Structure 1
């Protein structure tokens, strides 16, 4: 494990067997916002597949009387600033009937993300929330459904992923122009990438990346744990992931998301790709299902 940190975090805890349940969520700046209970306190939480552990805000940790452990780890979110991850132990984390106990996690300042989204965020429900269940997010109906791993919903085009630092990473290809040769990239499937799909430093070092970045207009492309990230937004002719092909897909190109400087990760696919559709995470089988309300072939 590097001292830089793993996206936002790492670690996992086992979940409990449960029946299928469907619950409402609020979509706020493309963040899936739900109410959860942590150590008996009702909190505003966000489902975040791009976080490798359970994350709580430092202010919530103070309210709960949690002791912040010492850690050399740094969060690897967007922005140029640095943030330390403070280990904590959460006695109980509950989302309706889903209950996790003795959950190792991290406390971090979530003020930048809360401010940019206009939503007070007390916690990020990361890897432990997804680990032992199948989680389906239906944006059209504003519902989250949780299924036991032995009874998942159907998926017409399952996409395999690899867990890297406890976040789902798919192998995809991108073509900046219709006549361009496809380039292979490894992308996090990230519910927290709320405004863009992203490509980072490795792609920017390619000939296609250099050309797109040089000819683009530099702008703010996101707000992460390290503050504002700057970059260039470009439209790609094609994105292929699994058996699905998406056309005219916008990516934000930036060197200011630290997670995309890690080995095996080049960027992320975010909410704009499946907004208004359905995305299903099956961590036990390491598969994802994207049912996007846009043209794909």
Structure 2
């Protein structure tokens, strides 16, 4: 766990880019690497920017103090994180350690406070950003491309953010319009990150277990990861007895060991998902004593759309199985205002 309360906003980020060892694309295209983003439109308009889906991560170019870097949009990071090697190259002044990142793996990685004068990525424009420098080398190795910057909480706090995995587009709408959603899910903001309540039904006929999970664009290859007290509980132990042991991901601290098992159903608000393969682990300190039991990950909505509305404290998920006309209608509803621009 991160040593100081002030650093807990970044506590999950070490695991957020976790998943299997699948390699993403090696680099941004030359055009993406050299082009400059236009000035952002007035706050009343929605802006749509393309992204590269690399190893299930939302990869976008980021300018840090005028230098182009490889960034990842990450709802699970409660702060902006910059790789330590990049921090040194940029000449950022690193403060005293705020503690260790509480993510997956067994290697301790210190979080060092830094201030970024200017950070820009499409419509995201931040100045004098309080960030953390941390060794992201393990994440870069597992993702197959350089993870220089994790663009976390500050990017989600102004307007609604919709990520369309089919069109490979991020829509940022600062008009104040509500995100259209057939089945909105209530969320709370915990240390800058979106957390929702879910119910997990381990087997048919078994009573559901109520848990809190972080909705994480960086949990790459598991629809749901659970740890902490749950894996030590009666239902968790019963699931573990029939689970298959495997390496379930790769965090800032290295490989994350665990097991995979299928549960009957997972519910979030009025939405139901299942049967669903779930990863169980005791290898993530961020799930210990933080009030967060796990993370909801990209496979749940990959091929669909996910939208974050922090102002109204709600989340919208259009999952990949919403095919045909039903999916098209849901996608249009979520994109709503942006499609009218």
TM-score normalised by the shorter chain: which range applies? over 0.9
Corresponding residue number in structure 1 for 2:276: 249
> Any conservation in 2 of the 1:6–1:259 contact (CA below 8 Å)?
no
User: Is the aligned partner of 1:182 residue 2:208?
Assistant: yes
TM-score normalised by L of structure 1: 0.93
Relative to 1, partners in 2 of residues 1:163 and 1:149: Cα closer, same or farther, differing over 3 Å? farther
Corresponding residue number in structure 2 for 1:163: 189
| SS of match in other structure, 1:223 | strand
Aligned partner of 1:88 among 114, 133, 136: 114
Relative to 1, partners in 2 of residues 1:215 and 1:247: Cα closer, same or farther, differing over 3 Å? closer
Q: CA deviation at 1:2?
A: 6.0
Aligned partner of 2:68 among 42, 61, 69: 42
Corresponding residue number in structure 1 for 2:170: 144
Computed over aligned residues only, the root mean square deviation of the Cα atoms, in angstroms, reads: 1.8
Q: CA deviation at 1:72?
A: 3.4
> Any conservation in 2 of the 1:34–1:45 contact (CA below 8 Å)?
yes
Structure having the larger proportion of residues in strand: 1
Alignment of 1:1-297 (within 5 A): 3=3, 5-6=7-8, 8-9=10-11, 17=43, 19-148=45-174, 150-196=176-222, 197-294=224-321
> Any conservation in 1 of the 2:48–2:172 contact (CA below 8 Å)?
yes
- Structure 1 range deviating more: 124-133 or 149-158: 149-158
> Any conservation in 1 of the 2:65–2:119 contact (CA below 8 Å)?
yes
Corresponding residue number in structure 2 for 1:13: none
How many aligned positions are there? Answer: 291
Q: Separation in 2 of the partners of 1:138 and 1:101? A: 27
> Any conservation in 2 of the 1:7–1:77 contact (CA below 8 Å)?
no
Q: Separation in 2 of the partners of 1:153 and 1:167? A: 19
Q: Separation in 2 of the partners of 1:24 and 1:127? A: 20
> Any conservation in 1 of the 2:2–2:100 contact (CA below 8 Å)?
no
Q: CA deviation at 1:17?
A: 3.7
Q: CA deviation at 1:149?
A: 5.3
Gaps of 5+ in 2: 13-41, 324-341
